[in-house]
Structure 1
Amino acid sequence: MEANTGRGISRGMLPLLALHTFTEYYRSDSKPPVTAALIAANTLIYLRPNFLRPLIPHIDHVWFNPHLILKNKDLQRFFLSPFYHIGDSHLVYNMISLLWKGIQLENSMGSLEFASTVASLLALSQSVTLILSKSLLIFFDYERSYYYEYSVGFSGVLFAMKVVLNSQSDNYTNVYGVLVPSRYAAWAELFLIQMSVPGVSFIGHLSGILAGLVYLRLRRNYSGSNPLSSIFKGFGSLLRWPVRFLGNLFGFRMGRITGRGTVGRAGRNVNARPAVDWRCQDCTYDNSGLLNVCEMCGTSRGSSSLQRDRRDSYYDSDGLSMDELRRRRIERFGR
């Protein structure tokens, strides 16, 4: 929910959030890092521990207010207000919703694509809120204009994520006891929350839905991936470059060790064919492809003493005699 009321802080529900988050991550096959980072960021900003207070602005300086944002060009209010919450229930409700949506979207998109999607939805939802608030002020002179309201919370982004998540779904979902098609679940939740929870920001939630629709339309019209994802990938590659450089410089990549010796990058012929086992033409013993002499009878690979010495008395018309094979075994193996 995106609340626009005064702030009341308690800590009673935070253990519930921690337990639920730990349980869901334990059950999940993958552990999506971006979702975890978003939940941690929202929670730390809400708690404002002493060692982070110099870095985290107070909520009074980041309330989303269209009038102040446009008048002062206040980007701090524009970008930071979604990460602030006014109470335990406000934070816990939004973070549980983020956990459920984030795990599904990040597992299907990948972490980099998901991070760029969240950034895009945040910017779009905030922008749509500004446009709607200003338009309502210009075209409709409300006694209590949305243009001057204060609000905070991540729910605008969550509504946009819900639109993206359910855009291709043909299933039905339960919204507060009402069964609706999944692709219209965000609209149903918008009106049900507005009727049942006083004080929430209708414009903030509506802007989130519209932002999700705009995002999907832009993605359909743009054949490539999300442009922001390319920036995130480039940034990730930039961070990994020093690690790769040091690894190549000091030779951190070790060769693979097998029973026949060390197989690594050094001295390796990439065009070499794998050794193929071969069968001795004299005694039909199967030898390893790494050997050039038969382990059983000592015949060289590719040659046959049967053909070479067929004229000798050691061989009859059918091949080597049993006495000859026994003699050769004794000479090679000593038994």
Structure 2
Amino acid sequence: MLGTCSLVSFEYPPPSFPPKINLRHMESHNLTGFSQFFLLGLSEDPELQPLLFELFLSIYLITVCGNLLIILAVSSDHHLHSTMYFFLSNLSLADIGFISTTVPKMLVNIHTQNKSIAYKGCVIQASFTYFFAGLDSLFLTVMAYDRLVAICQPLHYTIIMNPRLCGLLVLVSFLISLLDSLLHMSMVSQLTFCTDVEVPSFFCDPPKLLNLACSDTSTYTILMYFIGVIFGGVPVSGILYSYIRIISSILRISSSGGRYKAFSTCGSHLSVVCLFFGTALGVYLSSSVSSSPRKGAIASVMYTVVTPMLNPFIYSLRNRDIKRALRRLLGRTT
């Protein structure tokens, strides 16, 4: 039986093999699976690298040792087993995590003279930065509420600030910070980056990563600022409300000695609040006004590195109970 033959048309000239590749389409494709990020750091001057290494290594060691001393003093001295120092030890623990997220990688890059960081490592570093920054802001808010109850309702302080409520506040702060970091990590992971992205900072900051993405980031920018207003504005509003109530209660005290004693109990906390939120607000205002990304990176050192270092000094120098506990602790070790 003869089969039917079908006509096949041939084009001339024949199509080229292999097919042509659109290089422009490849450049805009999501290559983050095997791309590298380069953290440019604070300076590219080779002569400044040893000085920066010694400076930030000293700051890191001082910060970790200072906050560890606060934690050990609070845990070892029964006079400090109170609500205020319980929150202070958690704040010190968050400060250790905050500075450990950024500075060790910076020191490794300076020492090895290799500025690269993997894409997954950059996303993880950005999420941990927001996690510990959120913990800092929420712990400061909880400490402001603790001072509000202590000054405005001193007779009911032990009843209101019971151990169950304190543990619940720490747990809620942890969960909210975790949610904040997961939201930022999910947004950054959805961005499209080209290969060999240069980040003008010493750590992976999500606002800077948005400016370096190849895809459209308008939606992610709106979401990031919206999340920042919620997770940053609510703690600031709570702290402002607490201190308005605290100041109004202090002004109603008749004796000047009583007013000084009441205000001295929250002076250290107020100093840390102004340092943390003031430097963070200044960083983002300067980055939006200044056209130099490197100046924004230098400004971000204030709230990511300097603030965790200064917190133990502020609380230890202005608090007699902490100084006594540190003397006892150092006396036992020596």
TM-score by length of 1: 0.29
Higher Rg of the two aligned structures: 1
Q: Considering Cα pairs closer than 8 Å and 6+ residues apart, tell me whether 1 or 2 has the greater RCO.
A: 2
Q: TM-score, normalised by structure 2?
A: 0.29
Which structure has greater helix proportion?
2
